[in-house]
Structure 1
Amino acid sequence: MFRTRITRRLPAVVAVAGLALAAAACGGESSNSAETAPQATADQLNPNADLSKQSLSITVWDGYTPKELPEKVKEKLKVSDMKIALHGTNEEAMTKLTANGDSGIDVAFVSGQYAQALNAQGLLEPIHPELIPNLANLYPEATQLSYDKGNKYSVPYTWGTTGICYRSDLVKSPPTSWNDILKPPSWAEKKVTMMTTERWLALPALKSLGYSVNTDKDDEIAKAKQLLMDAKPHLLGYDDTTFGDKLKLGEAMMVEAWDGWCPTTDEKQNIKFVVPKEGSDLWVDTMVIMKSSKNKEAAHALINYILDPAIHSWAAENINYKVPNKAAMDQVKIAKGSLLGIKPAELLNGESIIDLGQASTKFTRLQTEVGAK
């Protein structure tokens, strides 16, 4: 499994600037509804365009697509060239995509709330479904994502949720609530880890209090902060990268984890995963086409190619993330204990994380204050 998910979630100053700019584009106020984002005007595209006269440049996380993708795309689509630039975080991608009028990028891989922010700035080309027939391979649920209902400006690539990953042979009783890690029992003292990335640090506390993961209310965030501060002395620590290893070694009993990183297929079969009863999130990583692209037909053809079941299934098989592509998932051999079998309807029980615009700074501040020694 590639360790790409963590680095792309880490907060950075540029994220605040980029999301605040998105808020300004919407009138300067944060919004918990993707429905309010303005829609860019679609360009007229030629379905019969000669792709040999177009080239492709994409930005994506390292290890998130097959290394041989450029060669395969050039062979299949007959584009003149394909270049891949890497970004370590969503924030790096936002800097690259918003720094000037033309980033030179045709297709960008970013998480859903960042796609929403880019669209709010008018930087995305609306999706032309007639140029992506393989959209038909997506689960119906993949068209109902709150940050972009109907896939108007983004196409989902991977998706998943967050929960508690635990050693079934070490816990005295299986966790069922976020409070099991926020207020760990005495037998789990200093045997629990939580994540430190902004929105995921706050998630357990917000959900345990019955609040939205997308809240921008100061009083709710303050109560979540107090819960996190109270939990801090009882934790083994904060860990966004090696919590699975800590479970395997027995250093931790329970950890906050993204489903794809919970090592439930370990040969000992003693590691389990549960979504707490208070609910969780639905995270999605997407593909978007930049408005500034001069190769929009080729960009659509690339997304269509990636949605081919034989190609899209690579992500599930190699990075252990579910893909929102039914035809692709039907081809994946799911190992014993794997979480790849979580159904789309179960994922949709989670709350989609959306762009909060300027209010995102509140979570940056929370993370800084909770993380301070």
Structure 2
Amino acid sequence: MRLTRRDFAVGMTASIASMSLPRIASAQSQLVVPTYGGLWAKFWEEQLLPGFSAATGIQPQIDVGLGKDFVSKIRAGGGRSPYSVFMGNENIAAMLRAEGFFEPFDLAKVPNAQKVFPQFVNKDAAGIRAIVSPIGLAYRTDLVKTPPTSWHDLWENPEFKGKTGLYQIGNTGAVLFLRLVAELFGKSPDDFDTAFSKIKELLPFTQASWSGEVATALMRGDAIVAPVDWTEIMVLQDKGAPVAIVAPKEGVLAFEQSFNLVATGAEKEAAHAYVNYVIDAKVQQDMAKAFYTSPSNKESVVDEAMATRTPIFGDRMTEIKSYDWNSYVDKSAEIADRWNREMA
């Protein structure tokens, strides 16, 4: 998931906004939370964490990095994790969960979880998918005569042959698309043989390792249609690019940032308070304005201007296909290897 380059208002008092929040945890730190770089870190440092501290009196520290860094640090931590809370795509979180690194939340300590759309609270409180960035079908408005309305159009619209862009298997977007195709054409989201067979029918297609590369392919005309997150297309539209994005009639995919309680992390009470704050209705609204995400809190308000650009909110959140990744964990390495061999 890649965030918008839009500037956003801090919305905090000067005294709160001026608080110093170190990026990397020190040996004396207690509540340590990871987040990504760039505008993720900017949002966390200037808005989210100061607001959290003002509301709770807790002074967290953040560790800025990539998802793979967070995974490595948790696995290398032995009996003590550097983090109290893990944040990462749900399919990645599922692997660490299967390895025993997480424990369930006590939802009595996360009252805002009752306001989260049920599909984003994992069974037995084993993770909360707190930040949701829908993935639809984007296309070049100046190069496509018949805009897509269905995922099936990737196969059925002859305009798209050889001009489709897809994520590379190292990106969660590719795994989401694989499971979607398995569901659409096969017996279940785990019918990978059918999914591989159908996706190979789209060859040749442009592969990208992250959303920015999908955007580049679209702007170059190497691809004229591609599954990509709303955030990326809104950024391009803000720059005047001839692109649009639609929600296919079968539903949309989404990058779901999963928050999990680390079993060997410190400050469990503070960790619960932190996640509770992240899913607060106002915080989710602020994220939507900054990042074009879809609020996971049912009480968040999306204004009219935002609603016309990012329509997946409120009742339409049910259009998001949120998969159970437990069945995928043991297959992930095999699937990645197969993709790299067959999707050249």
Report the TM-score, using the length of structure 1 for normalisation. Answer: 0.70
- How far, CA to CA, are the matches of 2:93 and 2:315 in structure 1? 21
Quick check: 1:260 aligned with 2:234? no
**Greater mean alpha carbon deviation, residues 358-367 or residues 273-282:** 273-282
- Residues 2 and 283 of structure 1: CA distance in aligned 2, closer, same or farther (over 3 Å): closer
Match of residue 155, structure 1, among 117, 124, 128 = 128
- How far, CA to CA, are the matches of 2:247 and 2:306 in structure 1? 20
- How far, CA to CA, are the matches of 2:201 and 2:94 in structure 1? 34
Match of residue 314, structure 1, among 271, 286, 291 = 286
Partners of 2:134 and 2:320 within 8 A in 1: no
Offset at residue 168 of structure 1 (A): 3.7
Could you list the per-position Cα deviations for residues 147-194 of structure 1 after superposition, in whole angstroms to 9, with x for gaps in the alignment? 8136x1322311243331123443222223434334651x44443211
Partner of 1:192: 164
Q: SS at the partner of 1:101?
A: coil
**Greater mean alpha carbon deviation, residues 157-166 or residues 279-288:** 279-288
Partner of 1:209: 185
**Greater mean alpha carbon deviation, residues 196-205 or residues 107-116:** 196-205
Partners of 2:138 and 2:225 within 8 A in 1: yes
Offset at residue 97 of structure 1 (A): 1.6
Q: SS at the partner of 2:126?
A: coil
Match of residue 101, structure 1, among 62, 66, 79 = 79
Partners of 2:138 and 2:243 within 8 A in 1: yes
Offset at residue 123 of structure 1 (A): 2.6
Partners of 1:167 and 1:271 within 8 A in 2: yes
Q: SS at the partner of 2:282?
A: helix
- How far, CA to CA, are the matches of 2:160 and 2:31 in structure 1? 51
Counterpart amino acid of 2:339? Answer: Q
Offset at residue 203 of structure 1 (A): 4.3
Partner of 2:18: none
Could you list the per-position Cα deviations for residues 254-286 of structure 1 after superposition, in whole angstroms to 9, with x for gaps in the alignment? 112123333388266953323444555354212
**Alignment identity in percent?**
20
Partner of 2:198: 227
Partner of 2:244: 272
Paired residues for 1:57-136 under 5 Å: 57-62=32-37, 63-64=39-40, 65-68=43-46, 69-79=48-58, 81-89=59-67, 91-99=68-76, 100-136=78-114
Report the TM-score, using the length of structure 2 for normalisation. Answer: 0.75
- How far, CA to CA, are the matches of 1:247 and 1:188 in structure 2? 12
- How far, CA to CA, are the matches of 1:261 and 1:177 in structure 2? 20
Partner of 2:259: 287
- Residues 351 and 137 of structure 1: CA distance in aligned 2, closer, same or farther (over 3 Å): closer
Could you list the per-position Cα deviations for residues 222-281 of structure 1 after superposition, in whole angstroms to 9, with x for gaps in the alignment? 343233334222x35546323335445655421121233333882669533234445553
Partners of 1:165 and 1:274 within 8 A in 2: yes
Offset at residue 325 of structure 1 (A): 1.2
- Residues 225 and 134 of structure 1: CA distance in aligned 2, closer, same or farther (over 3 Å): closer
Offset at residue 207 of structure 1 (A): 4.3
Q: SS at the partner of 1:266?
A: helix
Partner of 2:137: 164
- How far, CA to CA, are the matches of 2:279 and 2:177 in structure 1? 32
Partners of 2:129 and 2:259 within 8 A in 1: yes
- How far, CA to CA, are the matches of 2:152 and 2:320 in structure 1? 19
Counterpart amino acid of 1:302? Answer: Y
Paired residues for 1:167-186 under 5 Å: 167-182=140-155, 185=158
Offset at residue 136 of structure 1 (A): 3.9
- How far, CA to CA, are the matches of 2:138 and 2:81 in structure 1? 39
Partners of 1:192 and 1:252 within 8 A in 2: yes
Partner of 2:118: 143
- Residues 347 and 334 of structure 1: CA distance in aligned 2, closer, same or farther (over 3 Å): farther
Tell me which stretches of 4 or more aligned residues in structure 1 moved more than 6 Å. none
Equivalenced residues, count: 309
- Residues 71 and 158 of structure 1: CA distance in aligned 2, closer, same or farther (over 3 Å): closer
**Structure 2 unpaired stretches of 5+:** 5-27
**Structure 1 unpaired stretches of 5+:** 5-52
Partners of 2:200 and 2:343 within 8 A in 1: no
